[in-house]
Amino acid sequence: TQLLEQSPQFLSIQEGENLTVYCNSSSVFSSLQWYRQEPGEGPVLLVTVVTGGEVKKLKRLTFQFGDARKDSSLHITAAQPGDTGLYLCAGGTTGNQFYFGTGTSLTVIP
Amino acid sequence: GAGVSQSPSNKVTEKGKDVELRCDPISGHTALYWYRQSLGQGLEFLIYFQGNSAPDKSGLPSDRFSAERTGGSVSTLTIQRTQQEDSAVYLCASSQLGSSGRARYFGAGTRLSVL
């Protein structure tokens, strides 16, 4: 059983389009992180959110933590080929547990 | 070093052989994690070391898998009597502290292929 479900699993879009990736759970998390992984590399942290309803922006990427701290979304505006990669959400609990999501593979076509 | 270093980057082995994968974490990071990743999939937790505490081995898939961390730094993941289903990318990560909210810094991984 996966604690953190991501959708969609695969996404292929044209350069310049917008997209949203979702990370959902029935569990409450004290923190939520998003990572991006490029082929042949390890995941790299993009952002950490800790407050319900929190919104963080990183250039064209907008991250939101749900009010109940059970879900999160990643929105990319005007996607670029350099955004291509595997996006992973990860949640931490107050019990010091940490779980990675199922992953979303994004391909941006030039 | 500047980042997490893993070696070898690629390992091809025959079914039934033992393999050792090495991880050199970021200097000063007390927590070290091993994960397994099948092609394009999410990460499967294997084992976690925090300082001198007993490791959390709850993610190891079988008793063929073991890991140690010497001197609170370098870690070795050993897979005995490898099977084809062990083929995957093995990722190591470290963090400054072991709490759940701490960012994990990952190495590039070891791609293991069992023939």
Is residue B42 pLDDT above 90, yes or no? no
| Interface probe with A: pick from B6, B43, B106, most Cβ of A within 10 Å | B43
| Paired strand residues for B5 | B24
Is residue B57 pLDDT above 80, yes or no? yes
> pLDDT at position B96, please?
86
Instruction: Tell me how many domains chain A contains.
Output: 1
* Residues of chain B found within 8 Å of residue A31, distances taken between Cβ atoms: 100-101
What CATH topology corresponds to B28-97? Answer: Immunoglobulin-like (2.60.40)
**Among B42, B103, B106, beta carbon nearest to A33:** B103
In angstroms, the separation between the Cα of residue B93 and the nearest Cα of chain A is 9
A30 and B101 in contact by Cβ < 8 A?
A: yes
> pLDDT at position A67, please?
95
Query: Average of pLDDT values for B43-51?
Result: 91
Query: Average of pLDDT values for A68-84?
Result: 97
Look at the block and give the residue holding tokens 């270093």. B5
Query: Average of pLDDT values for B63-67?
Result: 96
> pLDDT at position B99, please?
61
> pLDDT at position A93, please?
85
Residues of chain B contacting A, Cβ within 8 Å: 4, 35, 40-43, 45, 91, 93, 98-101, 103-109
Of residues A106, A92, A77, A80, the one with CA closest to residue A33: A92
In angstroms, the separation between the Cα of residue A36 and the nearest Cα of chain B is 11
Report if residue A104 sits inside a domain: no
A104/B71: higher pLDDT: A104
Task: Kindly report the number of other CB atoms within 10 A of residue B16's CB atom.
Answer: 10
Is residue B67 pLDDT above 70, yes or no? yes
Report if residue A100 sits inside a domain: no
CATH of the domain at A87: 2.60.40.10
**Among B101, B105, B106, beta carbon nearest to A31:** B101
**Among B41, B99, B100, beta carbon nearest to A103:** B41
Residue spans of the domains in chain B: they are: 28-97
* pLDDT tier at B70, thresholds 50, 70, 90: confident
Average predicted confidence (pLDDT) for chain A: 94
Structural domain span for residue A38: 16-93
> pLDDT at position B1, please?
52
Is residue A2 pLDDT above 90, yes or no? no
Is residue A10 pLDDT above 60, yes or no? yes
| DSSP line for chain A | --SSEEE-SEEEEETT--EEEEEE-SS--SEEEEEEE-TTS--EEEEEE-STT-EEEETTEEEEE-TTSSEEEEEESS--GGG-EEEEEEEE-TTS-EEE---EEEEEE-
Query: Average of pLDDT values for A71-99?
Result: 92
